[in-house]
């Protein structure tokens, strides 16, 4: 029965893709404009639905993520070409074609924003899309897909240009990924799901695990660095994969001052005897991932699970690290408002620790440095194995783009070959274009005669 359902979804998508391929730029832009308007009108409702269904994160912050994943993305691409000849230079025309039928998985941490984001970049590029939503976020994700679909069709898009699996399961997602008439997979979620996309035999755009190190140099503007870390780490209770996981210092005195500032500004410093209690509830050690019970929860809820009395006004839990590496579980990815910190005796040691954290826990993803010394900034940029290097800005807000920098706005962050992905950029509409080239002859014909 599941196979018949997938077959029908893909058949519907194939028909829609064949129709969509003939659309003009004007038709495409009308469709995405309608989707943008619908996304803005529903971003708060969808945020509230996501928190109610999953119990993860904060509705006010998820509304911001919805706004970024749809409206800000739309503003980024609305005037850009995605149909026909999109560029011509040096005698070569670059012609944009759609891939066709996309299969897309969406996570429980960003269930509505990811659906809206992928729907928009699919429609901008005349691709059709079928969603395999996370079972624990099926209701809110499907509602987001319906809103995008209804808006698209109202503006003239083909029927069935956006679809979804009604009864989600690992089996159904596998069938979708492996269907012979799927052209490209957009995989956002856990490592197992991303790996299954790569094993499908289809081209796939995937993501990797995030374990973002934040190096705070002795040359940093410390007050600004601390504010940036707090803003980033507490955003949606730490559910974005690029959020800060460990603050790494190159000077103990600077670290002590930073800890004092963090505590003054709302961090709860975890005592040594409390750290073991936290570790017991925070990690699924068999799978090597954060325990679902703590993902996106408040510091108070996490403390309650661990039997720790966390003050009502605490914004995050601050945990001293013994090392950067598998031996200290708190230098793993935590997907919660729990932040590790450690100090070293030199810039070289601190940068080596940041490199180590990425290599074993977040290869290719994101790294942050706070420093005013240009030589330190350059050394960090040249040596760190991450595809997003953020200088003097919050990890989350900087990594998703177009807030603190000019990176393309995106909720799918590639990790390159270090992270087991093909692409290492902020995935955007351009990555869903198949570019055909038409090269004019520039050699004089008479030379061949």
Residues involved in catalysis: 241
401, 409 in Cβ contact below 8 A? yes
Structure tokens at 449: 């005669």
Q: Which residues contact 401 (CB under 8 A, 6 or more apart)?
A: 407, 408, 409, 410, 426
User: Could you give the residue ranges of the DSSP H alpha helices within 299-445?
Assistant: 299-306, 347-361, 374-383, 395-399
Structure tokens at 447: 């030379």
CA 329 – CA 351 distance, rounded (Å): 20
Length of the chain: 449
414, 426 in Cβ contact below 8 A? yes
CA atoms within 13 A on the CB side of 311: 13
Q: How far is CA 441 from its chain centroid?
A: 42
Kindly tell me the burial class for residue 359, based on how many C-beta atoms sit within 10 Å of its own C-beta (0-12, 13-18, 19 or more): middle
Q: How far is CA 122 from its chain centroid?
A: 17
| Exposure b/e, 56-85, CB count within 10 A at least 16 = b | bbbbebbbbbbbbbbbbbbebbeeeebbee
CA 425 – CA 408 distance, rounded (Å): 9
Write phi, then psi, for 105 (nearest 5 degrees): -100, 145
User: Could you give the residue ranges of the DSSP H alpha helices within 80-221?
Assistant: 111-124, 138-154, 170-178, 191-198
Question: 84 - beta bridge partners?
Answer: 96
Write phi, then psi, for 162 (nearest 5 degrees): -130, 125
Question: 205 - beta bridge partners?
Answer: 186
Rg (alpha carbons) of the chain, rounded to whole number:
23
221, 370 in Cβ contact below 8 A? yes
Structure tokens at 2: 């599941």
The residue assigned the tokens 């050690």 is 285
Phi-psi region of 384 (alpha: psi -120 to 50; beta: other; left: phi over 0): beta
The one-character DSSP state at 263 is H
């Amino acid at each position: 029965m599941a196979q018949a359902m997938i077959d029908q979804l893909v058949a519907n998508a194939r028909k829609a893709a064949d129709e969509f391929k003939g659309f003009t730029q004007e038709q495409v832009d009308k469709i995405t404009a309608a989707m943008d308007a619908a996304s803005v009108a529903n971003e708060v409702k969808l945020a509230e639905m996501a928190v109610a269904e999953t119990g993860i994160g904060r509705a006010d912050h998820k509304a911001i993520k919805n706004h970024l994943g749809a409206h800000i993305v739309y503003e980024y691409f609305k005037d850009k070409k995605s149909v026909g000849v999109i560029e011509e230079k040096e005698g070569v025309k670059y012609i944009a074609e759609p891939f066709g039928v996309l299969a897309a998985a969406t996570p429980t941490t960003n269930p509505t924003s990811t659906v809206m984001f992928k729907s928009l970049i699919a429609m901008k590029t005349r691709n059709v899309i079928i969603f395999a939503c996370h079972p624990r976020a099926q209701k809110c994700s499907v509602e987001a897909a319906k809103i995008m679909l209804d808006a698209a069709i109202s503006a003239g898009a083909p029927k069935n240009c956006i679809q979804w699996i009604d009864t989600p399961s690992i089996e159904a997602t596998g069938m979708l990924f492996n269907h012979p008439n799927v052209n490209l997979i957009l995989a956002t979620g856990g490592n197992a799901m991303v790996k299954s996309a790569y094993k499908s035999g289809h081209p796939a755009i995937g993501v990797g695990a995030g374990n973002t190190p934040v190096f705070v140099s002795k040359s940093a503007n410390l007050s600004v660095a601390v504010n940036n870390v707090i803003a980033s780490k507490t955003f949606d209770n730490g559910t974005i994969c690029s959020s800060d996981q460990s603050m790494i210092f190159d000077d103990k005195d600077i670290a002590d001052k930073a800890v004092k500032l963090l505590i003054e500004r709302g961090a709860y410093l975890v005592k040594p005897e409390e750290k073991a209690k936290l570790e017991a509830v925070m990690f699924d050690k068999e799978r090597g991932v954060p325990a679902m019970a703590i993902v996106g929860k408040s510091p108070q809820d996490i403390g309650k699970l661990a039997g720790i009395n966390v003050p009502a006004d605490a914004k995050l839990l601050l945990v001293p690290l013994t090392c950067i590496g598998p031996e200290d579980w708190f230098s793993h990815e935590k997907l919660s408002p729990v932040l590790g910190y450690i100090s070293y005796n030199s810039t070289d040691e601190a940068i080596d620790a940041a490199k180590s954290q990425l290599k074993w826990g977040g290869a290719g993803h994101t790294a942050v440095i706070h420093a005013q010394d240009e030589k330190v900034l350059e050394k960090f940029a040249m040596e760190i194995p991450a595809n997003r290097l953020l200088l003097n800005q919050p990890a989350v807000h900087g990594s998703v783009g177009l807030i603190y920098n000019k990176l393309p706005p995106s909720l799918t962050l590639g990790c390159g070959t270090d992270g087991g992905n093909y692409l290492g950029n902020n995935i955007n509409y351009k990555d869903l274009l198949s570019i055909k080239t038409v090269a004019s002859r520039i050699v004089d014909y008479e030379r061949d005669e």
